[in-house]
Amino acid sequence: MKIIYTVSSIVLALIILYSLLMHNISSHILKQNTVYPVETAAQTAPSEERICPKNYYTILTIDGGGTRGLIPLTYLKYLEQYNPNGTANIFNLMGGISTGAIIVAALSKVQPDMPDTYHFTAKQISDLYKKESPDFFSQSIIYRIISLNGLIMPLFNSYNKNNFFKINFKNTTLKNLTNHVALFAYDIKHKNILIFCNWIKCDNSLNQYSIADIVSGATSVMGVYAPVMFSTHAHQIKYNIADLGLIINNPAYMTVRLAAKICPDVQHYVVLSLGTGNYPEMSSNQESYHWGLTQWMPNLIAATTETNSEAASEYLSFFMRHELSTIPDNQLPKLIYIRLNPVLDWNDSKSFATSPENLDYFEKKSYEDINKNKQLLQCIATIRIKDELTSECKEQLLNYIHLQRSPYFAISLPGIFKN
């Protein structure tokens, strides 16, 4: 009896100690992930009227995908060779989800003392991804034990990720970005999609929060990182921000809708939608047939994001094909939707992969796809400069969109450009 009593006392003491430790860690995570408005000097957001082109409104959208953000960055490095003023000068509007939100925000950040010079190039962001991503997706042994490897707490501690954003974005807010941007996130509290945007007629009530806090929340995949609490100075929680990627991972449709509201009278919307890799074969049927919860959970994020990314892409492609069936072959449709998303091998395409071999693989597959689309990308890089197309550029666009034709496409889709 004495031995049983002693063992029971030890077990009880360990349970109490573990509970206290969990409480302290949870309180620390809550404090670490609660953010407040940033006080900045008043600055007018870019106006819609002065930036609307007459003919071609160019749009960049970037999917979520963790370290696979290196894939769209590789395309953008190539684009910047043909427009050295930066990606933000190539596109009228840029939208991103998760890792795409990081890239869009970074590409739109200007030098504090040089408002006409962008702070980051695509190459610089790519180099930061390679250098810093191992710290984003790492666990200390103690944290792994306490969290039961992500079973009862977020899989990763947010500190390194959030600190990286604070160092690189500082107190930059949406108002400080000169280009039009839309950063998409999910509000757990109200179960809504939040759009962080920086033009006059969008919801500017969120402009008071820093870019660092916005992208921290927009990259907090549920279960992987703790969400970010957006609080008022009176300590009232307004939003509980998480990554939108599990619900919608391709921001193209939402961004095009925003563009149609900003500049409704443009002749053509040219959309470059950059994915973070397409892996059509996740596993063999024989393998997945025997999977249970523990086998499916690590693959759930990839399966979900891949499916909803392609669904959004198909919708816009269908809309473009529908218009193609109503216009002459030598005429461009109102929506020119270009989707570039290289095929990856499932075993080498995990969102949290940080080994040099994996990161090199992402770049390699991107360059292979770039080599197939060089002239098309060169065309896109120059459209905004003169708001017109060369004959060669128009031919490239026509060749691409006519490859998307579907002989059996006959359904009518709701108008994407109707408010």
Residues carrying an active site annotation: 98, 243
Residue 110 bridge partners (DSSP): 118
Q: Which residues contact 186 (CB under 8 A, 6 or more apart)?
A: 192, 193, 194, 241, 242, 243, 244, 246, 247
Closest CA to 150 of 217, 215, 216, 221: 221
Host H or E run for residue 403: helix 391-403
The one-letter code for the residue type at 328 is P
Q: Which two tokens stand for residue 134?
A: 């191992």
Q: Which two tokens stand for residue 279?
A: 């892996």
Q: Which two tokens stand for residue 296?
A: 């499916």
Please identify which residue in the block is written with the tokens 């990161």. Answer: 359
Residue 75: strand, helix, or coil:
helix
Q: Are 227 and 242 spatial neighbours (Cβ–Cβ below 8 Å)? A: yes
Q: Are 46 and 263 spatial neighbours (Cβ–Cβ below 8 Å)? A: no
DSSP 22: H
Q: Are 375 and 392 spatial neighbours (Cβ–Cβ below 8 Å)? A: yes
C-alpha 249/C-alpha 246 separation (Å) is 7
C-alpha 383/C-alpha 404 separation (Å) is 21
- CB half-sphere exposure, 180, CA atoms < 13 A: 27
> What's the angle, vertex CA 121, arms to CA 90 and CA 228, rounded to 5?
100
Closest CA to 194 of 172, 170, 213, 177: 213
Q: What are phi and psi of 194, to 5 degrees?
A: -105, 135
CA–CA distances in Å: residue 35 to residues 118, 197, 205, 339 = 26, 18, 15, 35
Please identify which residue in the block is written with the tokens 């599990």. Answer: 246
C-alpha 282/C-alpha 280 separation (Å) is 6
Q: Which two tokens stand for residue 207?
A: 């402009």
Q: Which residues contact 400 (CB under 8 A, 6 or more apart)?
A: 338, 376
